[in-house]
Amino acid sequence: MKRLNLLFLIVCLIVGALNGCGEDDDDNSSNESNGKIRGEYEVINELPEKHSLETVIFEEVINFGCPHCNNFRLLSRDLKEQYKGRLILIDIPVLFRGQSDAPLRLYYVAKSLGKEEEAKDTIFDAKYIEELDVFDPDVIKDIAISMGIGTTYEQKAQSQEIDQAIEAGEQKCVNYAITAVPTIVIAETLKMMPTGSMEAFVGSLPETLDDLLKPIFH
């Protein structure tokens, strides 16, 4: 199966001043003072009107070997809880060159069972708490068993359904011109990447979401 290696000819750079994995063209611009949706983002589709959306699609492009993706996962938990029911959460896991697609296959098998969040957390925790090689197919098989979906994983991991799910994620990355992870795409329109601290990036997201969502009147 074709991979995003031409797009992701990058390695995960673990450098203190870097808050993303990959290439960042740093062309995001601030929109706070122009009367539009607040935040720092690149517009990749037609910009919604302010306060026009009942729910917002919130897509995360991630790599399971990226420490910054893991950091975003941990720091954004409160945000996702705050906007629970108003965000449609979609993960798009991707690969860097030379990585096995085993964790992606486990993620999408788990998603077919409604267990994608558990799979995401379990894979990241295996990498960053247990210090396991989550791109080792045998490690992924053990994780599937620990999640209670070992048999289903064995049956579905190499299926056409899972192939198509991976390919759909790859195509989205091409459509969105993704060059780094984590990248957040909000409402399929606003492409955002951390340029400072991850804490500041996560802390800035509510103003963008509040500008997009219809107000709730109590």
For residue 139, being part of any structural domain is answered with yes
pLDDT of 10 > 90? The answer is no
For residue 88, being part of any structural domain is answered with no
How does pLDDT run across 66-96, given as a tens digit for each residue?
Answer: 999 999 999 999 999 999 999 999 999 999 9
> How far apart (Å, rounded) are the C-alpha atoms in residues 153 and 139?
13
How does pLDDT run across 114-132, given as a tens digit for each residue?
Answer: 999 999 999 999 999 999 9
Could you tell me which residue, 93 or 14, shows the higher pLDDT?
A: 93
Domain that holds residue 169: 95-177
The domain that contains 152 carries what CATH number?
1.10.472.60
For residue 25, being part of any structural domain is answered with no
For residue 52, being part of any structural domain is answered with no
For residue 16, being part of any structural domain is answered with no
For residue 138, being part of any structural domain is answered with yes
Number of compact structural domains in the chain: 1
Overall average pLDDT of the 53-78 stretch: 98
C-alpha separations of 16 from 62, 67, 100, 198, 215 in Å: 19, 11, 27, 12, 38
Label the pairing between strands 87-93 and 180-181: unpaired
**What pLDDT is recorded for position 20?**
65
Overall average pLDDT of the 187-212 stretch: 97
